[in-house]
Amino acid sequence: MYTVFVAGHATGHPSPGGYGIVLTLRGMPTWEQDGLLASTSPHEAGLIAVREALRAVPERTQPEIVTGSRLVRRLVGGEQHPRKPELVQVLREIRDLTRLRRLQVRVTQTGPGTMEHLARAQTLAETATARARRSANSPACPKCGDRMSVKEVRSGRHRGSRIWGCTNFPDCQGMILLYEAQD
Ligand SMILES: [Zn+2]
């Protein structure tokens, strides 16, 4: 018996967000997953978490999905119909997955170990949101293409200047000058 604890997180409409999933089999956590969402809303992130949970469980099973969001439960359960196009779209994907993967899904607010596993899913979602926010706001490194963060140069020719510095420093010395200190 699979129980999947899911959480979505975002702070605005729209804003960067994330989701977290903790898959348990007979009460034992067996797998977890998170994902970054470049632009989403709290409700859409919650539905995306459900969608990804349905991809994570084996076909022809009867998974129980546990979410702390009442609206997500009502939407997936068909008790409430969404008006926002992005919610309609994710809900359609959930229905398609359910049918194609021959799942019998039950959405609920509690399951074995709810407190612990739901908290873990929430943490995964929030951490993913923080990563999504950072990557949304930072340019790509001109040398290696990875993310950059704002730094202040402490020595050398650019001392006192603010730069975007590569997060792989010192392996990568890529930088973009933001503000040049004047002596
Ligand atoms: Zn770099």
Question: Tell me, what's the pLDDT at 58?
Answer: 96
> How many Å lie between the centroid of ligand 1 and the Cα of residue 179?
19
Task: Measure 37 CA to ligand 1 centroid, in angstroms.
Answer: 23
For residue 177, pLDDT beyond 90: no
Q: Which residue has the tokens 């004047």?
A: 182
CATH of the domain at 110: 3.30.420.10
pLDDT of residue 161: 85
Say if residue 136's pLDDT is above 80: no
Tell me: pLDDT of 111 over 80. Answer: no
175 alpha carbon – ligand 1 mean position (Å): 8
Domain identity same for 95 and 169: no
CA of 105 to the centre of ligand 1 (A): 44
* Local structure of residue 150 (DSSP, 8 states): E
User: What is the model's pLDDT at position 60?
Assistant: 97
Place of tokens 């969404």: 82
Same domain for 108 and 163, yes or no, is no
* Residues sharing a CB contact under 8 Å with residue 62, sequence separation 6 or more, in sequence order: 1, 2, 103, 104, 105, 106
pLDDT at position 159 = 85
- Residues whose Cβ atom is located within 5 A of ion ligand 1: 141, 143-144, 166, 168, 172, 174
Segments forming the whole domain that contains residue 169: 138-183
Ligand 1 centre to CA of 144 (Å) is 4
75 shares its domain with 112: yes
Both 88 and 152 in a single domain?
no
Percent of the chain with pLDDT over 90: 64
CB 93 within 8 A of CB 102: no
36 and 126 share one domain: yes
Distance 171 CA to ligand 1 centre (A): 8
| Cα 146 to middle of ligand 1, angstroms | 6
pLDDT digit string, tens, across residues 9-57 = 998 888 889 999 999 999 899 999 999 998 899 999 999 999 999 999 9
Alpha-helix runs per DSSP H in 29-183: 42-56, 70-76, 85-100, 114-137
Instruction: Pick the range with the lowest mean pLDDT from 64-68, 147-151, 178-182.
Output: 178-182
pLDDT of residue 56: 94
pTM, entire model: 0.76
Let me know whether 146 and 93 are in one domain: no
Mark whether 52 and 107 lie in a shared domain: yes
Does residue 48 share a domain with residue 25? Answer: yes
Q: Is 67 in the same domain as 105?
A: yes
CA 114 / ligand 1 centre spacing (Å): 41
Cα–ligand 1 centroid distance for 159 (angstroms): 20
State how far the Cα of 106 lies from the Cα of 91, in Å rounded to an integer.
15
Q: How many folded domains does the chain comprise? A: 2
- In angstroms, the CA 183 to CA 164 distance is 20
- Computed over every residue of the chain, the mean pLDDT equals 91
Residues 70 and 7 in one domain: yes
pLDDT of residue 174: 92
**Distance between CA atoms of residues 168 and 177, nearest Å:** 17
